[in-house]
Amino acid sequence: RSSGSVSLNFSEFAGAGTEKDKINKLRISLKEIKECNNNLKIQLKAGLSNKDQLTKLQDEAEQIIRILVAIINKR
């Protein structure tokens, strides 16, 4: 469920008026994807879902983290 906020805040970034607001939206997206990744780790350790699916989702979350960090650092 926490992954939905990442997308919504990233959409807000695209429409933000000021550079400060854009960076803020990116930082919120980054916090949310990190939370999502932590939730995936918990589910993996608890054996709550398919290990292969969770591992794939973790990899995608880490890629998104790297992308967001790169965008933030360029600003």
Q: What stretches in the chain show pLDDT beneath 50?
A: none
Cα first-last separation, the chain: 29
- Alpha carbons 10 and 32: distance in angstroms, whole number: 11
DSSP 8-class letter at 49: S
Q: Yes or no: say if 26 and 5 are a contact pair by the CB < 8 Å rule.
A: no
Q: Three-state DSSP class for 17?
A: coil
Rg value, the chain, Cα: 14
Q: What pLDDT is stored for residue 3 in this prediction?
A: 77
For the chain, which domains are there? 1-74 (1.20.1440.60)
- Alpha carbons 27 and 42: distance in angstroms, whole number: 23
Q: What pLDDT is stored for residue 75 in this prediction?
A: 86
